[in-house]
A = this chain, B = another copy of it.
Amino acid sequence: MSLDPAVLLAVAREEALLGKSEGGVPIGAALFTVDGELLGRGHNRRVQDDDPSMHAETAAFRNAGRRPHYRDTVMVTTLSPCWFCSGLVRQFGIPHVVIGEAKTFSGGHDWLAENGVGITLLEDPECVALMTEFIERRPELWFEDIGEPR
């Protein structure tokens, strides 16, 4: 991948901050072509739309609209994709995922790598800080978002 992962991550981080400003789960994502064209961007909408199916990655994927295939795309997300979002990447054959951080939560990115998906893990301090603050402030919302009962 010839794109600069930090440039892609900046878009996902903007989405995460937008989600935070709306009182939502602060995770953002975007889908680009390998040539750097933005296809769709989005953030978690559990709180905003009362919609548990709109994680950041599924929101970005939805906003990109219908495509015959995804072989020429890159997904960027501020946080390691959960199993739901990892399954999205695998099913639709998205060949590369850029991840902001996997320190506060680790989903299915190792499984994706084992299945041939390119993974770029940035461990971005701003992304780590955003999730650390959120999990401390709203643990019940966070654990709801990943389906883990307390």
Contact = CB atoms under 8 A, between A and B. Distances in A.
A103 interface: no
A91 B147 contact: yes
Which label, helix, strand, loop or mixed, suits the secondary structure of the A interface? loop
Nearest to A93: B147
Interface string A59-82: 001101111111100000000001
Interface stretch (A13-21, A45-53, A124-132): A45-53
The bracket for how many chain A residues form the interface is 35 or more
Interface of A: 46, 50-54, 58, 61-62, 64-71, 82-88, 90-93, 107-108, 140, 144, 146-149
A52 B66 CA distance: 6
A66 B144 contact: yes
Interface-central residue, A66, A88, A91, by most chain B CB under 10 Å: A91
A52 to B, nearest CB: 5
A113 to B, nearest CB: 15
A46 B66 CA distance: 8
A41 to B, nearest CB: 14
A105 to B, nearest CB: 11
